[in-house]
Chains A and B, each alone.
Chain A
């Protein structure tokens, strides 16, 4: 199966994407991509961290604590991007039943949970010196927390369905329903918050000087590169685990076959 040439595989339309996304082909090309991507991630992090710690001015109001932003904003961006990626993969699972979409969803869920946790944690650390509190039931924070709970639910779902083929489709359905719900949750939380108390985060608008904007942008790209590196590794691991499982199953059934053959 994995030795078959995807070019001759007539069940898939012969375009570049399906050729790249064939599990066997994916394994071979992604192997060459991991090292450069990891190197790019390290370089970007080196530049970005150097910029954010040594080559950017402290904020005139928040002082040195503004540097937390260089970790906080990229992970918050990833927390939303990863869910979008999972929703797109879920469509791939439901519509085309593509195995790579399953792998992509499965590998992305724990990463999304981790980056959302980082965003919440750094946000709490940043909130303490600037607002005087670790946590505030602010609209944006609350919806990020709800998003974190959804990631945890998805990770739990993947664990419970471990090894069941039908699980992926069910999880894909839940991911999509969640994606449709996120805007509703966000809207309702904003509505609820403005009802009870005025919002306090207006500190970082878009009007920031280039000396802060540049390292932030580098860090966002660095975090994104980090995610894609980890995601590729995660997907490769999933494919290999899948193959190891089916090999084991084949081995067991073959041995059972021979043993039953000798006894009869």
Chain B
């Protein structure tokens, strides 16, 4: 718990990063309509995909500082000798990272929806899908960050590594929003999305802890 509080306080004090993420998220939402053209029907059809791509990119963008700062100032080294396990610490880090990087995006989604000409039911489904799906993205992203923690150019490498692993999240995330031809598939996609997030949150702390230990050797 103390780590959650400490990390939130650190992020809020340094400021900036959450706002940068939000700006990035919204600018992806601006740039795609400009590229695609202002045709309302096309935009409404593409809207779920655009929002998910923007969410994925901004999650990947926020990764690089997740463990690097702690690695550089020696916090990781002292956490290795803490009384609670590295797995628990990683779990706390996941929660903090979700709170400071994914939650603001979800809050900003209504503004994206207005720009992308989404109707109300679609917006509600989008928010629900993001709530269910972003924990998996954050967990995968944190895992990528822990892999790259000792690398100087890790900020570039981690997204390349994580992109293939994020494919299922993207697939179920978009299918949960856009109405599928068959009935019931949207509900199924919601359930798969939730399952992915639960699995990712349950298992990645162990993988992160392993990677951090290996980096510490």
Q: Which residues of A contact B (CB under 8 A)?
A: 94, 146-147, 149-150, 152-153, 156-157, 160-161, 164-166, 169-170, 173-174, 177-178, 180-181, 184-185, 187-189, 191-192, 195
Contact = CB atoms under 8 A, between A and B. Distances in A.
B53 interface: no
21 contacts: A150-B164, A153-B164, A156-B161, A157-B147, A157-B157, A160-B151, A160-B154, A166-B215, A166-B217, A170-B214, A173-B207, A173-B211, A181-B168, A184-B196, A185-B164, A185-B167, A185-B168, A189-B171, A191-B175, A191-B192, A195-B181
Contact of A170 (B164, B167, B203, B211): B211
A208 B203 CA distance: 43
Interface of B: 143, 147, 150-151, 153-154, 157, 160-161, 163-165, 167-168, 171-172, 175, 180-182, 185, 192, 196, 203, 207, 210-211, 214-215, 217
Contacts of B172: 188, 191
Contact of A178 (B157, B165, B185): B165
A42 B182 CA distance: 52
Contact of A174 (B153, B161, B215, B217): B161
A170 B160 contact: no
Nearest to A94: B210
A234 B181 CA distance: 50
Instruction: Tell me whether chain B's interface is mostly helix, strand or loop, or mixed.
Output: helix
A195 B157 contact: no
Contacts of A185: 164-165, 167-168
Contacts of A195: 175, 180-182, 185
A161 B151 contact: yes
Contact of B147 (A94, A150, A170, A188): A170
B214 A188 contact: no
Nearest to A159: B157
Contacts of B163: 149
A153 B161 contact: yes
Contacts of B180: 195
Contacts of B181: 195
A65 B26 CA distance: 49
A162 to B, nearest CB: 11
B175 A177 contact: no
A24 B134 CA distance: 49
A99 to B, nearest CB: 15
Contacts of A165: 217
Contacts of B164: 146-147, 149-150, 153, 178, 181, 185
